[in-house]
Amino acid sequence: MSIDHVQLSGALTSALYKNVLVEKAAHEGGGHDLRYKYLGNNQKKIIFLVNSNDAVFIEDKHLTFITKLLEACKMNIGDVAIVNHALHPVVIAELKKQLDPQMIILFGVSSVDIKLPFSFPQFKTQLYDGCTYVLVPTLNELDTDTHESKLLKSKLWVCLRQLLEI
């Protein structure tokens, strides 16, 4: 097999390029001042909104979890945008203007935190203003090997299968 036909998994790609994955910088896209930096390409207009105090976007261990989750959904990091609410608190109206999301998955970030005018329970999809929202537990709660974590992951998987029709 030639090198032109080598295929890398999402996990291997993120491991190889963890310091150079796409970061959208301010002033991209015609000189507009973009408030939120994000990891990924946002090709499918899906936002993963996380709270990570210890990383610019997301901790490496959680990036591996997200990469595996995306692979199970037949997607990769280029399909989503990972925005760190802890780094720069998100106001939903501004995020929507910048990234035009169709779906936002809130990993431990509440609707109140991002200035939505309502609240809703975890794992229940909520349609509002042309966007579907899903509130799920934090990555710290999901990304462990406990019995409770396994239950939460299965609830997340059921929710994602419905949303993404997989």
Per-residue pLDDT tens over the stretch 29-59: 444 445 899 999 999 999 999 998 888 889 8
pLDDT score, position 27:
37
pLDDT score, position 13:
57
Mean pLDDT value across residues 129-146: 94
CATH number, domain of 61, equals 3.40.470
pTM summary value: 0.78
Per the structure, the count of domains in the chain is 1
Kindly report the number of other CB atoms within 10 A of residue 55's CB atom.
Answer: 16
Q: Which structural domain, as residue segments, surrounds residue 28? A: 3-164
Cα 26 to Cα 12, 31, 53, 76, distances in angstroms: 28, 8, 21, 23
